[in-house]
Amino acid sequence: MSVPHLDEAVQSNLLSIMEDEYPLLVETFLSDSEERLRSIRAAFAAADGTALRHAAHSFKGSCGNMGAAVLSGLCKQLEEAARHNDLAAAQGLIAKVEHEFFIVRTLLQASRA
């Protein structure tokens, strides 16, 4: 059984808690995620494993809070690669994180419509 890109139970819970503010939550998550991805790319470009680990860790948490389990898991893998200063593995993981974020962003934008 594969893990869904977005956990429907988490999304439903967020919607019931946030109600009319849910679209703002989604927009905040998306814009914050874009900034986190920029930080990840910049840390990788600078070969700064510590900054990369921190950026991946931070992104992992926010993805988990939004129910984006696959994306959170990829961020965890990226965090571990950065912890071991394995920039070769990190490069492939960053591409996977970006691809998964594209899917999550598309799904969240559709949920607001």
Measured between alpha carbons, how far is 83 from 39 in angstroms, rounded to an integer? 16
pLDDT digits (tens, 9 = 90+) for 4-50: 899 999 999 999 999 999 999 999 999 999 999 999 999 999 999 99
Q: What share of the chain is helix, strand, coil (3-state, %, to 5)?
A: 85, 0, 15
Q: How many CB atoms lie within 10 A of CB 86?
A: 14
Amino acid found at 16 = S
Q: Where do the structural domains in the chain lie, given as residue ranges? A: 22-112
CA atoms in the 13 A half-sphere facing the CB of 38 = 6
Counted residue by residue, the chain has a size of: 113
The two structure tokens encoding residue 55: 């950026």
22-112 folds as Four Helix Bundle (Hemerythrin (Met), subunit A) (1.20.120)
Q: What's the pTM?
A: 0.93
Residue 91 has pLDDT above 80, yes or no: yes
